[in-house]
């Protein structure tokens, strides 16, 4: 598991009087704003109070004038229009707002969302032919189409006019179409490149309704546009920040029956809706439909005018999300079992794995979980016969889309952006693709790509009051480009570890300076937790207000955790003494060092029993730093156990033929040997050498 780098922002103490005095900000919120560069009154005001004036003219987007003219001409001539979307939240919301607008304009229109499992992402020839046969003569893509050159040629060949609206990365050339609207076009002069697909669709609506004030259009569409933008993890800066801020304000009073029904089902109708509740509560339910091959259910929910139907569809989305979770967890556990058997799978700069009949709709989520856990780009590929469909997630610093583009000859199809991709590949190219991605990751030189966490400031427990944590909401909406504030606290002690959600996550009860907090570590179960009760930790985290039965407390959401600096220093010292003994024998030790390393008989017994009891199929895989702490916690005999002494115990057992072990990265892989009879550890040469130093 790759250690994440914590990047602690510089303090701006000189800015505090201005931000807390003139702007009236709480001290904690002021520290975060200053850490992010908003360290003057003017900068902070501009960030905190953005207006609709920052919504750009849609006609600054290249080809927007052509798209508007084409659509108006089609409506005037009674031409049937099809909106071609995508199966994720961004694609579904894009489809629905454009269909709603076209219907208001009197268009004869329909929509098509490809089946994720049967068709995959993007335009395909069979769907284009089907829409043409259904009478459609104008096709508008949303959130897709920017790399569909062959499909665009086919549409032109059969006489189907095509407008592409998309926000994904472009290739060197764009498809030939009546209009190609994408803020990422190389020849685009649009001031903001980071619109979501639904954002581009909204800009098209603004262009079609040029005479109407943008405020009216925001009231009409911003709630749905905000949901799609947040769900697609677009940077919440610039135009996106304005749209999402406005949209979140509209959600509580949304007129969209589907959104209202979903919020009621999830208990969000009675509380403020934040970007977090959209990201982690609403979006997974909407996404679940597309992941399991039923994106039309989500589209129908957004488009229905019937509250009863909306409720039924919202309930169906929740059922599908439960099925999605089961499929996701099944694949994740299968991969974790594979990693436990072959720990070297996680030791490269990238991870590319494949398996037969993995669910195509959920491998992207599993990729994300693995990438976050091991700190490396991850691509998972589901094989069906000789064909594979894959999904990949990356980390900052490694452009996964560019890596695929460089190795396009190995792929049948690919798309996406720097941090998330989709692809199709033949079985005979799997190993070559794996090696090629590894080579791309190594091209940066000796320095490894390391995941980083930006930390706004260091805090002490007394700073985390309910009032100060609540004050952070002035910086909402949080998301990509404006993340929830992240803090560092040193030397907190674990009082209790509790598994939750079937041991997918853990709750930690932490203490420091007489204050106590509940903290949640998502994606780390008790079984995979490296820490034990009593450990002293440094943590980086975000802080939230938890309300339970009218009682409010501050709770922490841990982003990363490691042993406190003085704990790691002690580990380093014990390892240094052990290495000196291993390399130089008795000559590398003084009596204090020998005392540190030499185990008692009771300690040897405790180590033996723990490994025997906890090994799976005769194998125990555990970081040495974790294993010795578990022993120290479990047994009074191991009160003075340290990492160096643990390794000496293992050396003794290896010498006696009881265990073998090897170190791979941070992990010890310990194997029980087929030993017969009773071992005489007193005859160990390792122990004799240590005892000779102790005796002087």
CATH number of the domain where residue 630 is located: 1.10.10
Nearest to 581 by CA among 679, 495, 688, 494: 688
pLDDT in tens, 609-652: 999 999 888 889 889 999 999 999 999 999 999 999 999 999 99
User: With the C-alpha atoms ordered 335, 337, 342, 346, is the resulting torsion angle positive or negative?
Assistant: positive
Q: How confident is the model at residue 445 (pLDDT cuts 50, 70, 90)?
A: low
Tell me if the bond preceding 477 is cis, omega within 30° of 0: yes
Residue 335: inside a domain: no
Phi, psi of 183 (to 5 degrees): -65, -15
Average of per-residue pLDDT values in the chain: 93
pLDDT given for residue 1 in this prediction: 61
Together in a domain, 458 and 530: yes
Together in a domain, 446 and 484: no
Together in a domain, 383 and 502: no
Residue 502: inside a domain: yes
Q: How confident is the model at residue 547 (pLDDT cuts 50, 70, 90)?
A: confident
Contacts of residue 668, Cβ cutoff 8 Å, sequence gap at least 6? 620, 621, 622, 623, 624, 627, 650, 661, 662
Together in a domain, 35 and 167: no
Nearest to 405 by CA among 170, 615, 202: 170
Question: Domain end: 542, 563, 584, which one?
Answer: 563
Together in a domain, 180 and 97: yes
Contact in structure between 85 and 144 (CB atoms under 8 Å):
yes
What mean pLDDT is predicted for residues 40-49? 92
Report the Cα 638 to chain-centroid distance in Å. Answer: 39
Measure the CA–CA gap between 646 and 634, rounded to whole angstroms: 14
Helix axes 307-341, 295-303, angle to 10 degrees: 150
Question: Domain end: 430, 450, 470, which one?
Answer: 450
**What residue has token string 């030499």?**
598
pLDDT given for residue 50 in this prediction: 82
Annotate 389-427 with DSSP letters as a single string. Answer: EEEEE--TT--HHHHHHHTGGGEEEEEE-SSEEEEEEEG
Together in a domain, 358 and 467: no
Nearest to 300 by CA among 312, 318, 283: 312
Together in a domain, 424 and 312: no
CATH number of the domain to which 367 belongs: 3.10.310.30
pLDDT at 520 over 70: yes
CATH number of the domain to which 213 belongs: 3.90.1640.30
Together in a domain, 242 and 354: no
Contact in structure between 269 and 252 (CB atoms under 8 Å):
yes
CATH number of the domain to which 529 belongs: 2.40.50.460
Residue 333: inside a domain: no
> How far from 206 is each of 59, 73, 143, 163, 209, CA to CA, in Å?
9, 17, 17, 16, 5
Find the angle CA(415)-CA(418)-CA(424) to the nearest 5 degrees: 30
Residue 248: inside a domain: yes
Residue 332: inside a domain: no
Together in a domain, 551 and 574: no
Residue 162: inside a domain: yes
> How far from 582 is each of 461, 640, 683, CA to CA, in Å?
43, 20, 18
**What residue has token string 């800066």?**
237
Contact in structure between 197 and 92 (CB atoms under 8 Å):
no
Nearest to 346 by CA among 320, 322, 315, 375: 375
Residue 663: inside a domain: yes
Q: How confident is the model at residue 444 (pLDDT cuts 50, 70, 90)?
A: low
The one-character DSSP state at 616 is: B
Two tokens, residue 671: 């194997």
Instruction: Supply the range of the domain harboring residue 642.
Output: 566-694
The radius of gyration of the chain from alpha carbons, rounded to an integer in Å, stands at 29
Two tokens, residue 336: 């974790």
Count of structural domains within the chain: 4
**What residue has token string 């665009």?**
152
Together in a domain, 63 and 168: yes
What mean pLDDT is predicted for residues 526-540? 92
Residue 257: inside a domain: yes
pLDDT given for residue 67 in this prediction: 98
Together in a domain, 169 and 305: yes
Together in a domain, 14 and 76: no
pLDDT in tens, 385-443: 999 999 999 998 899 999 999 999 999 988 878 888 999 999 999 999 999 999 999 88
pLDDT given for residue 450 in this prediction: 83
Phi, psi of 249 (to 5 degrees): -65, -30
Question: Domain end: 450, 471, 501, which one?
Answer: 450
């Amino acid at each position: 598991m790759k250690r994440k780098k914590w990047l602690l922002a510089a303090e701006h103490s000189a800015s505090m009087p201005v931000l807390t005095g003139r702007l009236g900000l709480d001290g904690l919120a002021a520290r975060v704003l200053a850490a992010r560069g908003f360290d003057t009154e003017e900068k902070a005001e501009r960030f905190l109070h953005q207006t609709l004036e920052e919504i750009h003219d849609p006609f600054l987007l290249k080809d927007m004038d052509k798209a508007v003219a084409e659509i108006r001409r089609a409506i005037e001539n009674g031409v049937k229009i099809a909106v071609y979307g995508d199966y994720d939240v961004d694609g579904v919301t894009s489809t629905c707002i454009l269909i709603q607008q076209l219907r208001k304009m009197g268009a004869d229109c329909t929509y098509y969302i490809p089946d994720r499992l049967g068709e995959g992402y993007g335009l395909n020839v069979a769907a284009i032919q089907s829409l043409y046969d259904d009478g459609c003569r104008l096709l508008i893509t949303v959130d897709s189409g920017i790399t569909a050159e062959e499909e665009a040629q086919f549409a032109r060949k059969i006489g189907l006019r095509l407008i592409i609206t998309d926000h994904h990365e472009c290739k060197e050339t764009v498809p030939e179409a009546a209009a190609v609207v994408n803020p990422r076009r190389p020849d685009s002069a649009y001031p903001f490149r980071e619109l979501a697909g639904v954002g581009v669709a909204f800009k098209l609506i603004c262009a079609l309704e040029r005479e109407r004030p943008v405020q009216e259009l925001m009231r009409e569409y911003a709630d749905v546009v905000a949901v799609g933008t947040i769900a697609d993890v677009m940077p919440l800066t610039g135009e996106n920040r304005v749209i999402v801020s406005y949209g979140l304000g509209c959600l509580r009073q949304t007129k969209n029956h589907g959104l209202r029904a979903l919020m009621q089902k999830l208990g969000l109708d009675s509380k403020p809706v934040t970007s977090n509740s959209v990201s982690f509560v609403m979006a997974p339910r909407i996404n679940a439909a597309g992941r399991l091959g039923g994106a039309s259910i989500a589209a129908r929910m957004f488009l229905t005018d019937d509250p009863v139907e909306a409720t039924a569809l919202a309930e169906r989305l929740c059922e599908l999300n439960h099925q999605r979770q089961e499929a996701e967890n099944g694949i994740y556990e299968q991969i974790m079992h594979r990693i436990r058997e072959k720990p070297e799978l996680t030791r490269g700069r990238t991870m590319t794995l494949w398996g037969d009949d993995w669910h195509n709709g959920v491998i992207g989520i599993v990729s994300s979980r693995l990438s976050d856990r091991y700190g490396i780009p991850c691509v998972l590929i589901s094989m069906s016969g000789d064909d594979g469909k894959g999904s990949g997630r990356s980390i900052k610093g490694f452009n996964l889309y560019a890596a695929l583009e460089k190795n396009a000859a190995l792929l049948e199809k690919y798309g996406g952006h720097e941090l998330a991709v989709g692809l199709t590949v033949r079985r005979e190219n799997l190993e070559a693709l794996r090696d090629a991605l590894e080579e791309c990751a190594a091209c940066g030189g000796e320095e490894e790509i390391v995941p980083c966490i930006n930390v706004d400031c260091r805090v002490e427990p007394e700073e985390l009051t309910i009032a100060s944590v609540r004050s952070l909401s002035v910086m909402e909406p949080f998301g990509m480009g404006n993340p929830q504030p992240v803090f560092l606290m040193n030397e907190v002690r674990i009082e209790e570890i509790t598994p939750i959600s079937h041991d997918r996550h853990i709750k930690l009860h932490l203490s420091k300076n007489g204050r106590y907090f509940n903290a949640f570590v998502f994606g780390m179960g008790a079984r995979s937790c490296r820490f034990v009760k009593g450990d002293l930790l440094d943590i980086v985290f975000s802080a939230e207000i938890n309300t339970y039965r009218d009682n409010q407390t501050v709770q922490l959401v841990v982003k990363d955790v490691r042993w406190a600096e003085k704990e790691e220093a002690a580990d380093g010292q014990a390892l240094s003494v052990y290495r000196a003994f291993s390399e130089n024998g008795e000559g590398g030790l003084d009596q204090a060092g020998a005392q540190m390393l030499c185990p008692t008989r009771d300690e040897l017994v405790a180590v033996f029993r723990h490994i025997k009891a906890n090994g799976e199929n005769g194998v125990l895989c555990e970081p040495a730093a974790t294993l010795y702490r578990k022993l120290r916690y479990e047994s009074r005999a191991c009160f003075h156990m340290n990492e160096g002494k643990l390794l000496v115990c293992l050396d003794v057992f290896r010498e006696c033929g009881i265990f073998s072990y090897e170190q791979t990265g941070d992990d010890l892989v310990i194997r029980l040997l087929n030993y017969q009879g009773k071992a005489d550890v007193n005859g160990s040469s390792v122990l004799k050498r240590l005892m000779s130093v102790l005796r002087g």
